Structure formats: structure tokens, C-alpha cells
Structure 1
Amino acid sequence: MTTAAAYGCGFACLLLALVCLSAFSPADAQSPGSEVRADREPITPIPAPRAQDPQRVLLGERLFGDRRLSHDNTHSCSSCHDIATNGASARIHDTREGQPIALNTPTVFNASLNFRLNWEGNFRSLEEGIEGSLRNPAIMASSVDEVLGKLRADPGIVGQFRDAYGREPDAAALLDAIATYERTLVTPASRFDRWLAGETNAMTSDELSGYQVFKSLGCIACHQGVNVGGNLFQRHGIFHPLGSPEPALVRVPSLRNVATTAPYFHDGSAATLPEAVKAMGVAQLDRVLTDQQTAAIVAFLNTLTGTYRGQAVRPATATPRTGSQMP
């Protein structure tokens, strides 16, 4: 994206924020209305995942945890993207061979709902992102051809490819299998989604007030849609610096499961959610949020935690791990 486009994106978001500010009065921020129409809200519920070929999903899940995807056979996608917890890790920077990866690892949960992948938004599809991680020397330091050479020497996984694709492992099947599995990594049924669906008791009055504050301050300008973000680029540090200066332009992150994905920002510089909310207010809105405003927004953000395989997404532990960075 060009510099002009980047500034245009920032201006568009600021304009939308002003619209949001004019649409909500201070009274709205304090007392949520009982007549809110969910079908008119700027955030939409996560739909049920599309049906996927079960054999390809199983193969993709196996490959997601296969260390042969890395050049030295030491780590897999799941080394950093912990599906048992938040789809990422608890580290500021994951490492490979003792060297920190440049940016904080984003969660793989709901990555299929983003319009671009990675903080820099440099991949347009899951397949592109997977291939990019394989050949990235700071991540897997491998290649599709190298991985295929290892897999073709394994009769068991060759048989699984034949069952799923009717042929031996090849580049298209390898990337498709992992991407097919990743498309199942969605986390519906958050309390906010349930409220949108008409379950009026799914959220407390404090959480609903927090949602109104979130909208009235203009946070909704960038964090909206099905993934509560993930659908546009934005310049961080519009008014004041926000973490490390590079990359200057980032794909707006999704706020789905945000209460579980500390640390925050592209550089992992915010350790807690209240800290991140206050920093965003200063950097992106040029406003010092009060403790009451911060607490209200955090209360709302806690309602965005969804479920995976019937269990609520939970924070990752601080166990050291090595691996890849992808969505």
C-alpha cells in the first residue's frame, strides 16, 4: 500500500470515528438501551463453520502439528499456535533457534475470517500464508518441496493423502489440507454473539454499557464486522507512538478472544488488556481514557471470548515454545 493510501485509510477511519461520536450521546455510553436491534449492529455473529471434507480436516490437523514442516524438524505450526489455548502463545515474541521472531504471534483462531493474513497483511489466502511460513527463514526455513520429500518417505501419511485427495502428496494437496483445517478454527458462541442472536441475558448491564462506550469513542471505526476487525489496514500511532514504529501500517487485528491473547499489539508491548485499551485511546484517538471508560470497554471485550470444540477459548500459559508465526 502506498503512503497516500495509508493516510487515506487513516483518514477514513477517523471520519468513521467522528460519525460514531455523533451517533452516540454520553447517555448512550452509560445506559444501554433495551431496544437495540442486533441486525443493525456494526458487529455480526460468527457463523457456524462451513462443512469441510473430514478426511482433509484430519490430514490438515496432523500436518499442523507435524515438525517435519520445519527444516530442522524441531517445530510445527502448533508450536506457536496453541489450539489447546488461545491459538497463539503467551510470549511477547516466539523464537526460533533462540532468535526472537520480529512480531508478536497472532492467533490462528478465526484467521480465515480476516481479509489478509499476518500483521503486515502480506498474504491474501490461508494457502499463501502457509507457503510463506514454510519458506520464511525466520520461521520454518523450509519449502514446500522439502516438506513433500519428507512426507513422501512416510507410507502412513502417503496413504492419508491418497484417502483425502486420491493421490500422493503434492504442493496443492499439502497447502489445501492445512488450510482446510484452519478454516475449522473458528470460535462462535461468544456471549456477545449470543446477545446479538437475541439472548438478552447473555450480557450484563455493565458489559452492554461497555459496548456503547466502545462505539461512542470510535473504536468501532476499525473494529467491526464479523471478526471485530481484520478487514482493513490502519496506521498505528496516528496521534502518539504505539509500540515499535515498524511496520508503520498493519492489518487491524481481530478482537475476537482478545481477553485471552495477551500480550498485545504487533510488538507485544502491552501486557494486559486495560493497558492496551488505554494505549489505544492515546495513540489512535488522542484521548486519555478514564478508569471508568477503560473498565467498561474491557468488560465488553471479555464478552468476545468464543468456544472451540465446545470449550471456551482460554489464555495461553507462559511455557517457552518455539515455532512459526502465521495468521
Structure 2
Amino acid sequence: MTLTRPFVVLLSVFFLNVAFAKEPISPIFALSKLNNEKVALGRALFFDERLSKNNKISCASCHQLTTNGADNKALSNGVEGQKTATRTPTVYNAVFNIRQTWSGARIDLFDQVDAPITNPKEHGTTWSEVIAKLSTDKELTAKFNRIYQSPISQQNIQHAIAEFEQSLVTTNAPFDRWLQGEQNAIDNQTKQGYQLFKRYGCISCHQGRNVGGNMFSKIGHFGNYFQDRGGEITEADLGRYMVTKKPYDKHVFKVPSLRLSSLQTHFFHDGSQDNLSDAIRVMAKYQLGRAIPEQDIQLIRAFLTSLVGQHPELTSPHEAE
């Protein structure tokens, strides 16, 4: 029997999908059907410091796209030198998160844009002030009128920035290429690290296309993380409880994506760890109740490194310590 080309292609896609289904992690692909003009406008706004009270803070101040999409500080600097309550998470691949912010207080990227603008410790401004400043920019006003057929508004600003953020998807990671059948895309150490990642139970929270970001979990299933960490327990440490006010949500946080974890300089909602190996140890202790040998930690690190994909904005990736 001679197979036609369309049938062969269809058969290949079928077996590729079956291969995906065998693993708890799936490849990540860029979103289609984004409006390029809105993406470009959103990018300009993302870097625009006029979106802050003192005209010195932009979205990009804390979400540094060239390195990892997050901040290289444990806590970010907001207006007047104030510190953010939690570590800035990466904006890369955030579109795939179940909700936005550590506590899941924001529904999606559109909703999340509002959070830093009006937060007194971050951009520290109001939408009326932002719109008033931007409206004096004739070129920007003309762009909004052309692209949105309406003047500059809170809704249009949020939409444009969210459109840009949806474009921040890192693709073609070595691990994803391996998932799609390219056996030599990762080495044996990386493959061993992935098996250990599953065997130790890390995969129970970090899975799916974003290797996290799709569920909430309490920090400290096997031990008192906050007591051992020391210091005052802040409202930010209460996590999702500050959203739901339900006692069982105390110290519950959105599980972060590990896609760019090997590029991060700080870890966890409080930025309390600045070393990836230590972060693995801490999570193993408090979330899994296990002590992972150093050799296995290094293998898991190799796997995490293979999750890093590519994006035109990610020009100077920072390798985690």
C-alpha cells in the first residue's frame, strides 16, 4: 500500500501527540493570532517610565527581559526606594499561568497590569495621572487612535501591555526538542536529571507546558518553612489567604514556572534563596520531606537548564549560581 503525503504527515502528528501524552511535561509554543501593532505598542508602554509616579519606574525595571524576565534582586525597588512585598516573578511564559501574582490575586495578564501601576510600593500612581501624562504625547495618542480607534484609556493601555506580554514565550528549548523526538537535543545527564525530577516528586507540582504555574501549593508540607527562615511573617507570607481569607489558604502560593529557573538569581516568593542548588534543597526538605544528594541536585540542575527556550528579547541570559 502506498501512503499519500497528507496521510504520512497526519500519522506523524498522531504519534508525536502520543509521545507528548506519555510525559507530564509538554512542549511550549508561541501563541498565534497576536496583533503585531498592539504587541509593538505594548512593548513601548512596557518600557515607558511615565507609567510611574516619579517617571523613573517602568514594567521593565523589575521584569528585565534581557536576562530572565524577572529582577536580579530579591525584592525589587519601587517608587521612592520602597521594596516590593514579594519577589518579582518572570514575565516570560506568564500567559500560561493559571492566575497572576504569587497569591493568584489577578485573573490574567490584562488584570495584572493594573496591580503594579496602583501599588504604592511599585509604580505608585493612578490611572488618571498616567492617562494625563501619556495624552500629552501626540505621537502616542495617534497610535492609540489608529490601533484602537479610541483615545488613550486604562483599558487600552492594559490590553496593549497584555498583548505584548502574551508574545513573551520562550520556544525551542532543548528539552522541548527532545520531547518532540530529537533524541540528541539533551545529553544523558539531563535525561538522568529529568528522571530524578520525577522520581523525587518535584513533578507533582511542576508539570505541564510551563513546568509549574498551573496550581497552588502550601509552602511547608514537611516542616515550618517560616519558622526556620526567621524574621517577621508578613502579609505577603500569608499568600493566597490574603485573597480568599480562608484559613486553609495561609502560606499557599501559585507554584512558579521552572522554565527559566536556571537563569534566576533569587527564588521563592520572598527571594530568600539566591542559589539554585540551595533552592532545590529547600524545596525538597519542606515540600517533599527528602534530602537530595549533591550529585542528584546537579543532575536536576542540568534538566532545569534544558528548559530554557529562546526569545528575541532574551539576549543576555544570566546563568543561576
Same fold (TM over 0.5): yes
Which of 289, 293, 297 lines up with 2:296 in the alignment? 293
Are 1:93 and 2:75 matched, yes or no? yes
CA distance in 2, matches of 1:40, 1:288: 28
Deviations 1:157-207 (A, max 9, x none): 001111211121122211100100000001011111111111100111111
Q: Is the 8 A contact 1:195 1:203 kept in 2?
A: yes
Displacement of 1:267 after TM fit? 1.1
CA distance in 2, matches of 1:312, 1:188: 14
Are 1:176 and 2:176 matched, yes or no? no
Q: Segments of 4+ in structure 1 off by > 4 A?
A: 310-313
Q: How does 1:70-149 map to 2 (within 5 A)?
A: 70-96=52-78, 97-149=80-132
Structure 1 window deviating more from structure 2 (57-66 vs 303-312): it is 303-312
Which of 255, 274, 277 lines up with 1:274 in the alignment? 277
Task: Name the residue aligned to 1:305.
Answer: 308
Distance 1:311 1:148, change over 3 A: closer
CA distance in 2, matches of 1:103, 1:199: 38
Are 1:253 and 2:256 matched, yes or no? yes
Q: Is the 8 A contact 1:86 1:316 kept in 2?
A: no
Are 1:238 and 2:221 matched, yes or no? yes
Displacement of 1:312 after TM fit? 6.5
Q: How many residues align?
A: 282
Which of 269, 283, 286 lines up with 1:283 in the alignment? 286
CA distance in 1, matches of 2:69, 2:200: 29
Structure 2 counterpart SS, 1:234 = strand
Task: Name the residue aligned to 2:5.
Answer: none
CA distance in 2, matches of 1:104, 1:202: 32
CA distance in 2, matches of 1:146, 1:249: 35
CA distance in 2, matches of 1:55, 1:38: 34
CA distance in 2, matches of 1:48, 1:283: 34
CA distance in 1, matches of 2:293, 2:66: 35
Q: Is the 8 A contact 1:89 1:316 kept in 2?
A: no
Distance 1:208 1:58, change over 3 A: same
Displacement of 1:276 after TM fit? 0.6
Which of 41, 48, 52 lines up with 1:59 in the alignment? 41
Question: What's the TM-score once normalised by structure 2's chain length?
Answer: 0.84
Structure 2 counterpart SS, 1:250 = strand
Q: How does 1:310-325 map to 2 (within 5 A)?
A: 314-315=317-318
Q: Which is bigger in relative contact order (C-alpha 8 A, separation at least 6)?
A: 1
Structure 1 counterpart SS, 2:27 = coil
Fraction of identical pairs, as percent: 39
Question: What's the TM-score once normalised by structure 1's chain length?
Answer: 0.83
Q: Is the 8 A contact 1:305 1:312 kept in 2?
A: no
Displacement of 1:99 after TM fit? 2.2
Structure 2 counterpart SS, 1:134 = helix
Q: Residue type of the partner of 2:218?
A: R
Deviations 1:97-156 (A, max 9, x none): 222211111111011110111111110111111112111111111122221111111101
Are 1:228 and 2:211 matched, yes or no? yes
Distance 1:217 1:313, change over 3 A: farther
Are 1:199 and 2:182 matched, yes or no? yes
Displacement of 1:37 after TM fit? 3.6
Task: Name the residue aligned to 2:143.
Answer: 160
Q: Is the 8 A contact 2:66 2:313 kept in 1?
A: no
CA distance in 1, matches of 2:213, 2:315: 21
Q: Residue type of the partner of 1:236?
A: I
